[in-house]
Amino acid sequence: MNKRIAPYYWMTVPAVILFFVFMTLPALQGIYYSFTNYNGFGKEYDFVGFKNYFNLFQDDNVGNAYWFTFKFAIVVTILTNILSLLIALGLNAKIKFRNFFRGIYFLPNILSVLIVGYIFNYLFSNVFPIWGQNLGINALSTNILGSESLAWIGIVIVAVWQSVALNTILYLAGLQTIPTTLYEASNLDGAGKWREFWSITFPLIAPFFTINMVLAMKNSLMVFDQIVALTNGGPGRATQSISHLIYTGGFEGGEYAYQSANSVIYFIVIAVISILQIRFLQRREMDL
């Protein structure tokens, strides 16, 4: 073996083995169980063929969870990207205490989602309603997490608050790659700030836009911790995401096999969405 190639094998082979043992194998096991009626424990189970998959499409709780998750993911992806791009532009400008602000804006990403969730939970139930009452705003004077129609907004707020941090850093990195000479040239040509953004900045950070959209979408499609900490899927099932449904149904409800089938379908859905997103957005990059 070529001496120069050897280190690459040393690095990839263990990684492949680890990936197979901890990711691929459990996934295959999950697919296997999705064709049984296994309850997650106990020693006996039977093969039931496609019965679980058939039942999934009859179950409106599953439909409800998909609807909530997609609505949530789209709103979070859009808001996160708008806000983080704005913040990144601000942090890239020549302002005082620039590094200090960069650190502050990154903080939410370091904190644990669960802890952030519990803090916001307290704020939503005990602090914001009192503000709402004092200001005389009716919609704010009760806990929005307790309302079937508004609870999802509370989760969006927390999710965006936290995910903006990572996306801001990625956009900042993108902004650093743009050579300043381009701006100098556009300045000489008399371009305004707005024109500068659409014609130089945005096209040049297109690859970062792609990766941010895909990451934000994937993360919010898999939303779980925020929901556990804020509403636990409630009120009723109003904020039950797909991963939360898989967890509660599979482990608490003792329907391991049924929810395995759900997660197989969900895996396919997420993979398809991510691939489509990347293809669509990358084609846009090339056009420019």
HSE of 137, CA atoms in CB hemisphere, 13 A: 10
Which is nearer to other proteins, 45 or 101 (by Cβ)? 45
**Closest distance between other proteins and the C-beta of residue 271, in Å?**
20
Sign of CA dihedral 186, 101, 213, 159: negative
Report which of 85, 69, 45 is spatially closest to residue 239, judged by C-alpha positions: 69
Closest distance between other proteins and the C-beta of residue 133, in Å? 9
Task: State the Cα angle at 31 between 65 and 56, rounded to 5°.
Answer: 35
Contact residues: other proteins, CB under 8 A: 37, 39-43, 51-52, 55, 58-59, 124-126, 129, 141-148, 231-238, 240, 247-249, 251-255, 258
Nearer to other proteins by Cβ, of 77 and 220: the residue is 220
Q: Which is nearer to other proteins, 132 or 203 (CB)?
A: 132
Conformation bin of residue 241: beta by default, left when phi > 0, alpha when psi is -120 to 50: beta
Please report, for residues 58, 202, 248, 257, the alpha-carbon distance to residue 52 in angstroms, rounded to integers and kept in the order given: 10, 46, 17, 8
Rounded least distance, CB 59 to other proteins, Å: 6
Nearer to other proteins, 174 or 233 (CB): 233
| Between 55 and 274, CB nearer to other proteins | 55
> Which residues are 44's β-sheet partners?
none
Least CB distance to other proteins at residue 112 (A): 11
Q: Is the dihedral of CA 89, 95, 98, 104 positive or negative?
A: negative
Minimum CB distance to other proteins, residue 12 (Å): 27
- Which has the closest alpha carbon to 81: 193, 178, 208, 253? 208
> Minimum distance from CB of 61 to other proteins (Å)?
8
Which CB atom, from 37 or from 199, has the smaller least distance to other proteins?
37
